Amino acid sequence: MVKNVTIISERAPFIDNLIFCLEQDSFKVSVTNRVKKVMDSDSYVILNLLNWRENASNEIDVLLQNKVKKVILLEDAGQLYLNSHNKLPYSVYSNIVPKNKICQDIIDLENKVIDSDIPYVIFRISEIYGPTVNFGMIYDLIRGRIKILSHSQRDFVYEGDVIYAIEIALKNGVTGIFDIANGTATQLTDLIDIINEIKKKNINVGFRSRSRDLIYNPDNFKFYKWIPLVSIRTGLQVTLTVANNQNFRK
């Protein structure tokens, strides 16, 4: 049976890649940039909040009035955890203590979904990167847009691993809140070294005092036979190769 998937998002290369992969996996996919008041009851809905939408709470209210099959939220884990009082290791098992309105808004939105009677999956996604991801630290670094970094560790997850997680989430029986991450910390100094090695040309980035690390534990989603397959070095190799072949501009 073909599943109908509705993606609520602005069109972007990553979303186009997601559509292509889902269609290859026999899903029927449609895209809209806003929640419709009336949605197909047989639709699995993916709401992209990786780039925070100011009207996200209102969109959730409208979405949950529809009796859709499942709601899948894609969130920026860093936006949530960095705006909380929580300490490492960040985990979906920890109670989030907000330190500002940004964090509280995300928690309130999650609770609306959790308290509904609609099956849901909430993905708190670490710093995503890849050939079709046109935002984030790695995207800006390889285009020379970042000149100063802090001494810290980050958890970068390749876009293909995220798409694989979304495909699993579309299956019946998968529900809950999950951190989707590589699960491996990368020092930003090491990240620059890897990029320079692959590019064979140094990017000019300086470092200042240490800042907060961002490291996640994706183990609870591994229950569903998901594991991140792409290392940071392999992912950067592919990302930079595609960027060079397409002659991306700054």
Structure tokens at 149: 């970094």
3-state secondary structure of 147: coil
Q: How far apart are CA 31 and CA 13, in angstroms?
A: 13
More confident: 133 or 36? 133
pLDDT tens digits for range 130-181: 999 999 999 999 988 999 999 999 999 999 999 999 999 998 789 999 999 9
Q: Is 196 a member of any domain?
A: no
Q: How far apart are CA 207 and CA 189, in angstroms?
A: 8
Q: Is 173 a member of any domain?
A: yes
What are the two backbone dihedrals, phi and then psi, of residue 107, each rounded to the nearest 5 degrees?
Answer: -60, -45
Q: Is 115 a member of any domain?
A: yes
Q: Is 190 a member of any domain?
A: no
* Residues 193-221, mean pLDDT to the nearest whole number: 91
Helix (H) or strand (E) holding 192: helix 188-199
* Residues 57-83, mean pLDDT to the nearest whole number: 94
**Count of other CB atoms within 10 angstroms of residue 187:** 13
Q: Return the DSSP state at 174.
A: -
**pTM for the full predicted model:** 0.94
Q: Is 247 a member of any domain?
A: no
Band (pLDDT 50/70/90 cuts) for residue 249 is very low
Q: Is 224 a member of any domain?
A: yes
The pLDDT value given to residue 247: 62
Q: How many domains does the chain have?
A: 1
The pLDDT value given to residue 44: 96
Q: Is 142 a member of any domain?
A: no
Residue 137: strand pairing partners: none
Angle at 75 between CA 123 and CA 89, to 5 degrees: 70
Q: Is 174 a member of any domain?
A: yes
Domain that holds residue 75: 4-134+156-185+214-229
Write the CATH number for 126: 3.40.50.720
